[in-house]
Structure 1
Amino acid sequence: MLEKLREAEFANQALLASYALQQLQAELAAQTAADAQLTAQYQAEATDRDSARQLAAKQPKDLVRLSITFALIAGAAALGYAVFGGSAMTLLKDPTSSLTAGTFVGYVFSELKQSLAFWFGTTSEATAQMRTITGFAVSPGTVTSDMDVSPAAPTVNVAATPAVGGADNYRGS
């Protein structure tokens, strides 16, 4: 009886070892596939940058890219001077106009960042960070509330409102 129990135990250990081996092989295959995908993505980004720069090199008299970059640099400098120099103080005190001005400043600096990335390159980490921030900003419920605030539904169900320390609709939790 004891001999059969030992045989069953060894068979069970062998079966568990084969399961562990299969799991490790599956993890290795998944990691290899992920590495291959990441390598392909890096190569695609490098090829895209190279093709854009080769196109720019083939057009030496095309000053459009350079003009746009310098216009964006000059605009960013002018905006920085206006904000930090104090000449935009009255504009920034009004909530509506400051929101519009802030949107415009953000747009100009975003375009400047893209233009400078063309000339000097960018890292894949910066691209991934931008993708993550954009995904967070446009996902429903992360920045805005999921609650319906239309005039047709002016009442709020107090029983369904979370208690203090509960879900925070602003952060989407």
Structure 2
Amino acid sequence: MLIQSRELGVTRRELSAPVTAGQVIGGEVLGRFVISLTQGLYMVVGTAVLFGVNWGDPLATGLVVASFAGVSAAAAMVLGSLMDNANAAGGLGIGLGLVVAGLGGSMLPIELFPSSLTVVSALTPHRWAYEAYAEIQRRGGGVADVLPQLGVLVAMTALLLPLGAWLLQRSLSRAM
């Protein structure tokens, strides 16, 4: 969507309004965050209602969903700013998402990973969300119990978001 808004000139028109580039970039980030947060909450509520999944402490679960949504929004900004073709970005995003999810324990429990892969999985946001959900669901953990995982997810967002904003700013200035 970020690429399409650049291609269609939406971003150029936004920048011609009485707003700063930072406000435009902030709006782009907020849009991606809301989409990711909505998808995450939809999955939590949907599985709870349809399949009776007990997600444990609602506040802790909501914070994990929100933290993961932050990482997702920041990663989308990076990918969308680096790519020029929306179809290629969509394919790459899905492919990278599946690989990172697999490495993070979303397809096979981390407990079954060999030790070398366990180290690699610690670089993925999925791993930290997996550990947080395991703490909440399996051990009845609350917010205090998942603070380390939330901290890592927030740190990942804090690293990726400025990079994505800088890359978007750079791509917008080249397009002008």
TM-score (norm 2): 0.28
Structure number with bigger Rg = 1
Higher relative contact order (CA 8 A, sep 6+): 2
In terms of fraction of residues, the more helix-rich structure is: 2
